[in-house]
């Protein structure tokens, strides 16, 4: 069974092609900086060097078309044509009323369109992906994997807002949470690395990318998360404000005679790191470059970002009472040692001690790393996320009738012997470029260690 999985972020499209019968990823790739100059597609494939295409994509539709073209390319592709695909998975940021992954039909698409304004940077892109894939592959099963599903275990005190009761009962106004597939994968991989049952582990997952969130996972279940009704609440993000006093919006709308639609756009697309750097940079790499050049606003943006992360870390430690490990994941979490260090500064009295050398070399999305000091009571991991494998297994389980909620379902990546062979092969190339990364990498199988010694 060949499964194509599409994962559209606010400024990216990740994709993978998975052969479920062989339990093997045929390739994985992504398109970055969509809507920003310098868009590029990169693809990893077993036995081949990484492949890259530089081609500006103004929107997600163009990016997905580029993905399909690459997958079927005679030289760099992994499938002969799109007809060999058995099912297509679509990661959906806001699932609304959907509490689990669902098979796509017109009513599902209609509901996603109806709630698109709750995730304006993501759901419209997801819908474009669904429509494009259904048009190209009308005879295969399409499945939506809902990022909100993992957070359905939150207790009422975590998901309820102090707003009129009818807003909740009649309109579903509550905290939903996002990045659920990423948190599910990384929290369970953390349990493997800690050699503990996930039901006995307390973890805080820091999913840091263009969109960013923290999630408290107590005994394997979500008990709180920083994003809310929409992905706007919580941390300072690339172009989203995160937490603010709502009165600031009303005050400025009155001052500037601003309509609600314009304020909505400002909060989602013109705030966050973009606003803090003087309406210039939403991409962390651009912010880092500015910091290296002594830009005061870039330094301020980094300080505000780290302060917010640290505040949520403290809050979730208090809620859970005991913390076993912290996980950094997603683009910035995996490749931003400076952000990780800045966010954990001053937490040594809480048993959180960073090993700066390990942290500085841990910049890869191909291997799991431990960046905590040996005397740290709380383990600190960098775990490359893999939302696609969560979606792939949901799809297979839906097709064969074994699917269930995550608290009653065991994924293949929870097994000690699980390996992503595509990542293992790519990690060898990473080590050739940066051998020091081995100081932080953990959970490497013996065969891979032998390959690295060659």
The residues annotated with a catalytic role in the active site are 147
For residue 253, give Cα distances in angstroms to 128, 250, 278, 398, 439. Answer: 32, 5, 20, 47, 52
For residue 45, give every residue at least 6 positions away whose Cβ sits within 8 Å of its Cβ, in sequence order, or none.
Answer: 26, 27, 51, 76, 78, 422
What's the token pair of residue 184? 């599910």
Q: What DSSP assignment string belongs to 67-128?
A: HHHHHT-TTT-SSSSGGG--EEEEEES--TT--S-EE--HHHHHHHHHTGGGSTTTHHHHHH
CA 415-419-425 angle, to 5 degrees, is 170
CA dihedral (185, 189, 190, 191) positive or negative: positive
What's the token pair of residue 294? 């002594």
User: Residue 300 and residue 303: Cα distance in Å, rounded?
Assistant: 5
CA within 13 Å, CB half, 160: 10
Q: What DSSP assignment string belongs to 140-192?
A: SEEEEEETTGGGGG--HHHH--SS-HHHHHHH--S-----HHHHHHHHHHHHH
User: Residue 364 and residue 358: Cα distance in Å, rounded?
Assistant: 12
Q: Would you say how long the chain is, in residues? A: 454
CA 282-288-293 angle, to 5 degrees, is 120
């Amino acid at each position: 069974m060949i499964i194509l999985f599409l994962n559209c972020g606010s400024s990216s499209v990740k994709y993978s092609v998975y052969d479920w019968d062989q339990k093997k990823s045929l390739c994985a790739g992504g398109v970055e900086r969509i809507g920003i100059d310098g868009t590029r597609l990169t693809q990893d494939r077993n036995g081949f060097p990484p492949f890259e295409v530089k081609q500006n994509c103004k929107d997600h539709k163009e990016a997905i078309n580029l993905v399909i073209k690459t997958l079927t390319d005679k030289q760099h592709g992994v499938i002969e044509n799109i007809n060999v695909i058995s099912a297509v998975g679509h990661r959906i940021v806001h699932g609304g009323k959907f509490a689990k992954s669902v098979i796509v039909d017109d009513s599902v698409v209609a509901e996603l369109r109806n709630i698109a304004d709750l995730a304006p940077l993501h759901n419209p892109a997801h819908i474009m992906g669904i429509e494009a894939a259904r048009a190209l592959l009308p005879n295969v099963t399409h499945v939506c994997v809902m990022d909100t599903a993992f957070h359905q275990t939150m207790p009422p005190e975590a998901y309820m807002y102090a707003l009129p009761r009818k807003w909740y009962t009649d309109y579903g106004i509550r905290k939903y949470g996002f990045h659920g597939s990423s948190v599910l994968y990384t929290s369970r991989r953390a349990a493997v690395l800690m050699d503990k049952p996930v039901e006995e582990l307390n973890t805080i997952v820091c999913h840091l990318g263009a969109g960013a969130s923290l999630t408290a996972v107590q005994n394997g279940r979500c008990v709180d998360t920083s994003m809310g009704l929409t992905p706007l609440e919580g941390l300072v993000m690339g172009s989203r404000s995160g937490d603010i006093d709502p009165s600031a919006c009303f005050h400025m709308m009155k001052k500037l005679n601003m309509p609600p639609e314009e304020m909505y756009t400002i909060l989602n697309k013109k705030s966050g790191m973009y606003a803090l750097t003087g309406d210039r940079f939403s991409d962390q790499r651009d912010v880092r470059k500015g910091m290296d050049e002594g830009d005061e606003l870039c330094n301020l943006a980094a300080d505000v970002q780290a302060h917010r992360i640290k505040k949520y870390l403290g809050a979730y430690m208090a809620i859970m009472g005991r913390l076993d490990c912290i996980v950094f994941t997603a683009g910035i979490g995996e490749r931003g040692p400076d952000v990780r260090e800045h966010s954990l500064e001053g937490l040594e009295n809480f048993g959180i001690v960073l090993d700066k050398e390990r942290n500085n070399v841990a910049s890869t999305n191909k291997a799991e790393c431990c960046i905590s000091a040996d005397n740290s009571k709380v383990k600190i991991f960098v775990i490359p996320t893999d939302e696609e494998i969560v979606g792939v297994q949901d799809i297979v389980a839906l097709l064969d009738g074994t699917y269930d909620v995550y608290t009653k379902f065991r994924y293949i990546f929870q097994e000690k012997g699980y390996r992503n062979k595509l990542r293992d092969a790519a990690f060898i190339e990473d080590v050739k470029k940066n051998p020091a990364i081995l100081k932080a990498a953990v959970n490497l199988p013996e065969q891979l260690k032998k390959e690295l010694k060659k």
